[in-house]
Amino acid sequence: MGSTAEEFLVASEEKAFEMDHRRIINYNIDKYDTAVTRGLARMINLDHSKKKGHAIKWKVMENLDKFLPEFEANFQKRGGKVIWANDAEEANREILNIIQKAGAKTVIKSKSMATEEIHLNEFLEQNQVESVESDLGEYIVQLLGQPPYHIVTPAMHLSKEDIAKLFNERFGTPIDSTPEQLTQKARELLRDKYLSADVGITGANFLIADTGSIAISENEGNARLTTSFPKIHIAVVGIEKLIPSITDLDLFWPMLATHGTGQNLTVYNTILSGPRQPNETDGPDEMYVVLLDNGRTNLLAQKEQRQGLYCIRCGACLNVCPVYKNIGGHTYDTTYSGPIGSVITPHMKGMEEFKHLSYASSLCGKCTEVCPVKIDIHKMLLLNRRDAVNEGIVPKKEKWGWALWKKGMLKRSLTDFFKGKTKNWMMRTFFKKSWGHFREMPQVAEKSFSQQWAERNQADKEV
C-alpha cells in the first residue's frame, strides 16, 4: 500500500481523464453557477456582508473559551445536555452510550458532515445499531456504500440515470423513472423510518451562544422530522460552528443559502433550544449536543491559519476550484474536500499524511474570492506548504533537488556550465515521471539567456 499522497496522485489521474465524470460535474456545477450568480445579484452590498461575517467569526475564534461555556450554560438551562468530545473515538463512544442506555436499536440521521468526519454510521453498524440517512443525497450515497462527494450536495457526481439504475436494482422501480418518481419512492421508504426510529441524529449549521440553541438549515424537511419524532435527539457539532447571538443569523442564513445553492434563504431553517418543554406537543424527551474538537484546537493554535475555522460549509470554494472540478470529491480521501479541506485537513488529521493536499491547487485565488466569510484560502495553502518544509516533512530527493537548484540559481557560472542537451537529458531522466506522461517535457534552449546576451553584445561591439 502506497502513501496517502501516492494514492492521491494515482486516483487524481484516473478521475481527471474519466470523461463521463467530467460531463456530469460540469453540468451540475454550471447549474449551480447560474443560480448563485442570480442569488448574489440580489445582495445590495456583498463585500460589506463578507467583511461583517469575517469579523464575527474572528471574534468567536479569539474568544472561543468564553463563547463555548456560554452556549453550554444557556443550553442546559432548558434541559439540554452537553458532551465534550476530544476526538472521533470519544464522540462515538458517548453517542453509543446514550443509545445503549435507552435500549435503542434504530437511528434516523439528517445530513451532517461532522458525523461523516467521525464515521458514525460505520461505528453504529459495527455495534448492531441501524443508522439510516434521511437526506436524499446522503441516502443515495449510503445505498452505494460511498462517502459524500461534496460538502453540500453529496451525490453531485451522479446523473439521474445513475440514480434510476440504483433504485431499479435496489427497489425494483422502473429504469426510466423521473427524478420526481425517484424522490417519491425515497419518501415512501423513509417515512416509516422517522416513525420507528428510537434516536434522531443531526449536525448543526450554527451554535448560538446567547440563547443556547442550534440552528439547522435544510431543503427537504428531513431534519425537522428527525428531531420531532424520535424520543432522543443528538446533535454532533464542531466547536467552530459558534456565533455570538441569534441576531447574527440575519447575516449568516442568507449568506449560507446564497453561496451554497443560490437561494435567497434555505427552505427550512430551524432553531432548537433543548428537549420538548412541558407546554410543547412534539419534540424529543432528551436532547444532547456533542461538541466535537477532533483536531480543531490544533488549527486554532496556528495564529496565521486559524481563520480556516471561520468556514460556514457553503461549498462555494469547491464549485469554483479547477482542481476539484477535474479530480472530484472522493479523490481527496477526506471528509472535507476541495480548497477548504486542503487547508484544514493537514492540521486536523496530521501534516505528514495530508500535506500533499495543500499542493493540489493552482493558486488561482478564486476560492478566496468567493468565500462568504473572506477566508484567505490560497494564502493558507501556501502557509501549510511552508509549515511542511519547516517541519522537515519532505522526501530526501526533494530536499536534495531544491538544494542543487538553489546552488545553481545563485551562481551563474554553474547554471551555464551544463549545455542545453545535458539539461534536457537531466529533465527527461529525473523529472519525466513528475511532469506526467500525458505532457511533453519543455525543451531547454541550447544556450542560456546570459550566454545569448553576451554573444549578442559582443557581436554589436564588433559591428
Q: Output the domain CATH number for residue 111.
A: 3.40.50.10420
**Cell 417519491, located at residue:** 184
Beta sheet of 268-272, edge-to-edge order: 242-243, 206-208, 213-218, 268-272
b/e map of 77-102 (b: 16 or more CB within 10 Å)?
eeebbbbebeebebbbebbbebbeee
Strands 81-85 and 286-292: parallel
Name the residue range of residue 402's domain.
Answer: 397-462
b/e map of 342-370 (b: 16 or more CB within 10 Å)?
bbbbbbbbebeebbbbbebbeeeebbbeb
* 14 domain residue, yes or no: no
At residue 64, the pLDDT reads: 97
Helical residues (DSSP H) of 337-431, grouped into ranges: 338-349, 351-354, 366-370, 377-390, 396-410, 412-417, 420-430
Whether residues 405 and 281 share a domain: the answer is: no
Whether residues 277 and 402 share a domain: the answer is: no
At residue 394, the pLDDT reads: 82
At residue 344, the pLDDT reads: 97
| C-alpha of 152 from chain center | 9
DSSP label at residue 245: -
Given 269, 294, 319, the domain boundary residue is 294
Using CA atoms, how far apart are residues 220 and 380, in angstroms rounded to an integer? Answer: 34
* 166 domain residue, yes or no: yes
Q: Output the average pLDDT for the chain.
A: 93
* 301 domain residue, yes or no: no
Determine what percent of the chain is predicted with pLDDT higher than 70. Answer: 99
194 forms bridges with which residues in the sheet? none
* 255 domain residue, yes or no: yes
* 348 domain residue, yes or no: no
Using CA atoms, how far apart are residues 320 and 362, in angstroms rounded to an integer? Answer: 12
For CA atoms 273, 118, 54, 390, give the dihedral sign.
positive
For CA atoms 49, 240, 371, 217, give the dihedral sign.
negative
Given 236, 268, 294, the domain boundary residue is 294
At residue 2, the pLDDT reads: 53
How many independent structural domains does the chain possess? Answer: 2
Using CA atoms, how far apart are residues 287 and 273, in angstroms rounded to an integer? Answer: 9
* pLDDT tens across the length of the chain (463 residues): 357 888 998 899 899 999 999 999 999 999 999 999 999 999 999 999 999 999 999 999 999 999 999 999 999 999 999 999 999 999 999 999 999 999 999 999 999 999 999 999 999 999 999 999 999 999 999 999 999 999 999 999 999 999 999 999 999 999 999 999 999 999 999 999 999 999 999 999 999 999 999 999 999 999 999 999 999 999 999 999 999 999 999 999 999 999 999 999 999 999 999 999 998 888 999 999 999 999 999 999 999 999 999 999 999 999 999 999 999 999 999 999 999 999 999 999 999 999 999 999 999 999 999 999 999 999 999 999 999 999 988 888 778 888 888 888 888 887 777 778 888 888 888 777 777 777 788 888 888 888 888 888 887 676 5
At residue 1, the pLDDT reads: 39
Contact 32, 262 (CB under 8 A): yes
At residue 159, the pLDDT reads: 94
Residues found in the chain = 463
Using CA atoms, how far apart are residues 17 and 21, in angstroms rounded to an integer? Answer: 9
* 13 domain residue, yes or no: no
Contact 361, 369 (CB under 8 A): no
Please give the single-letter amino acid code of residue 37.
T
Whether residues 427 and 281 share a domain: the answer is: no
Whether residues 414 and 289 share a domain: the answer is: no
Whether residues 79 and 211 share a domain: the answer is: yes
At residue 463, the pLDDT reads: 58
At residue 439, the pLDDT reads: 79
Given 294, 321, 345, the domain boundary residue is 294
Here the cell at position 336 is 472535507
* 374 domain residue, yes or no: no
Whether residues 265 and 401 share a domain: the answer is: no
At residue 459, the pLDDT reads: 73
